Amino acid sequence: MATIGTNLQEARKLLEAGQVIGMPTETVYGLAGNALNLQAVTRIFEVKNRPSFDPLIVHSSSREKVSQFVREFPPTAKLLAEVFWPGALTLLLPKTNAVPDLVTAGLDTVAVRIPNHPLSRQLLQELDFPLAAPSANPFGYISPTQAIHVQTQLGEKIPYILDGGPSQVGIESTIVGFEGGEVIVYRLGGIAVEDIEKIAGKVRVMAHSSSNPKAPGMLKSHYAPRKPVFTTGFETLTKQYSPEQIGILAFQEPFAEIPGTNQFILSPEGSTSLAAQRLFAGLRHLDGLPISVIFAELLPEKELGRAINDRLRRAAAK
């Protein structure tokens, strides 16, 4: 079983040896390995049981280091990086040949990010290579926001989990790419579209992909607990199941028809940021209850509510 600890030198030693570990970021915990080492990248896919057509995000500690494995940095990308790095923004940029094709699923672009977590940044500063680090969970399941989540899900397959406490953002990064002068959001995430548009102007939000996605985290069915999730048809569910069989993931207010013990409230004060922090913990909690189905209430389509709704709809996708 993987050891949980805060020993940066142990984490560094394992990564330099080509192994993969659990790593904290401010978004969710990542399954990290040397992004330039084909064996380490292969191991990431094996541990997650992730399909090779789904590309990975590469993490580094500075713009200067990122520039070593991307061919160009468009002006709008530089503006976004100046405002949101380090942070929950991933940029899709043309890659150099140093980045293995397996990392990018054969695409000519690589997803890059500088995480805003003190432990991960210190680790990345001490390494002479970037880290590929998708979420540290079995492919398609709920993303981990604490070290214990990683140990429970992948602890038998990896040697070490660097413990950085609970993730402060709680959902994955926003992925932004650039095509023909257009700014495209490929994945909604921890940076709101409204905030990106303040810097980059009007953006286009990309729909999901059922196969061969152009960026990480675009698959239609994803982030799902083992119990069926529904975001519509609550009245139909109450006719098919007893109140004791239904779990509720609610935004602010509990549902009067369902026992309180079967409910998880994301943010009583209506904060989409707090709701994002608690989203995956709420899904994980409900998935562990003796219930049959989960009804997830959608949030207002603004700020991080859009990203939360994106995760909920994909958790509910068949």
Q: How many beta carbons lie within 10 A of that of residue 176, not counting itself?
A: 27
Stronger pLDDT, 53 or 87, i.e. the higher one = 87
Confidence (pLDDT) at 220: 63
Q: Residue range 84-92: average pLDDT?
A: 98
Confidence (pLDDT) at 212: 54
In this structure, are residues 307 and 171 in contact, taking their beta carbons and an 8 Å threshold? yes
Q: Residue range 87-102: average pLDDT?
A: 96
In this structure, are residues 205 and 223 in contact, taking their beta carbons and an 8 Å threshold? no
Confidence (pLDDT) at 206: 86
Confidence (pLDDT) at 274: 96
In this structure, are residues 58 and 197 in contact, taking their beta carbons and an 8 Å threshold? no
User: Sorting pLDDT into bands at 50, 70 and 90, what band is 221?
Assistant: low
Q: What is the pLDDT of residues 128-177, one digit of tens each?
A: 999 999 999 998 899 999 999 999 999 999 999 999 999 999 999 999 99
The two three-digit tokens of residue 62, written as one number: 């500075």
3-state secondary structure 53-116: CCCCEEECCCHHHHCCCECCCCHHHHHHHHHHCCCCEEEEEEECCCCCHHHHCCCCEEEEECCC
User: What does the chain look like in DSSP terms, one character per residue?
Assistant: -PEEE--HHHHHHHHHTT--EEE--SSS-EEEEETT-HHHHHHHHHHHT--TTS--EEE-S-HHHHTTSBS---HHHHHHHHHH-SSSEEEEEEBPTTS-HHHHTT-SEEEEE----HHHHHHHHH-SS-EE--BSSSTTSPPP-SHHHHHHHHTTT-SEEE---S-SS-SPPEEEEEETTEEEEEE--SS-HHHHHHHH-S-EEPPPBSSS-SSTT-BSS-S--SS-EESS-HHHHHHHS-GGGEEEEESSS--TTS-GGGEEES-TT--HHHHHHHHHHHHHHHHTSS-SEEEEPPPPSSTTHHHHHHHHHHHH--
Domains in the chain, start-ordered, CATH in brackets? 3-205 (3.90.870.10), 229-316 (3.40.50.11030)
The two three-digit tokens of residue 155, written as one number: 């602890």
Q: What is the pLDDT of residues 179-205, one digit of tens each?
A: 988 999 999 999 999 999 999 999 999
Confidence (pLDDT) at 181: 85
Using the predicted structure, report yes or no on whether residue 213 has a pLDDT greater than 90. Answer: no
Confidence (pLDDT) at 79: 97
Q: Which residues touch 235 (CB under 8 Å, ≥6 apart)? A: none
Confidence (pLDDT) at 142: 94
Q: What is the pLDDT of residues 236-295, one digit of tens each?
A: 999 999 999 999 999 999 999 999 999 999 999 999 999 999 999 999 999 999 999 999
**What's the rounded Cα separation, in Å, for the pair 225 and 175?**
23
Among candidate residues 175, 189, 153, 161, the one with its CA nearest the CA of residue 49 = 153
In this structure, are residues 169 and 115 in contact, taking their beta carbons and an 8 Å threshold? no
Using the predicted structure, report yes or no on whether residue 223 has a pLDDT greater than 80. Answer: no
Peptide bond into 94 cis (omega under 30): no
Q: What is the pLDDT of residues 292-317, one digit of tens each?
A: 999 999 999 999 999 999 999 999 98
**What's the rounded Cα separation, in Å, for the pair 280 and 292?**
18
Cα 315 to the center of its chain, rounded Å = 13
Q: What is the pLDDT of residues 3-51, one digit of tens each?
A: 999 999 999 999 999 999 999 999 999 999 999 999 999 999 999 998 8
Phi/psi of residue 198, nearest 5 degrees: -65, -30
**What's the rounded Cα separation, in Å, for the pair 59 and 30?**
10
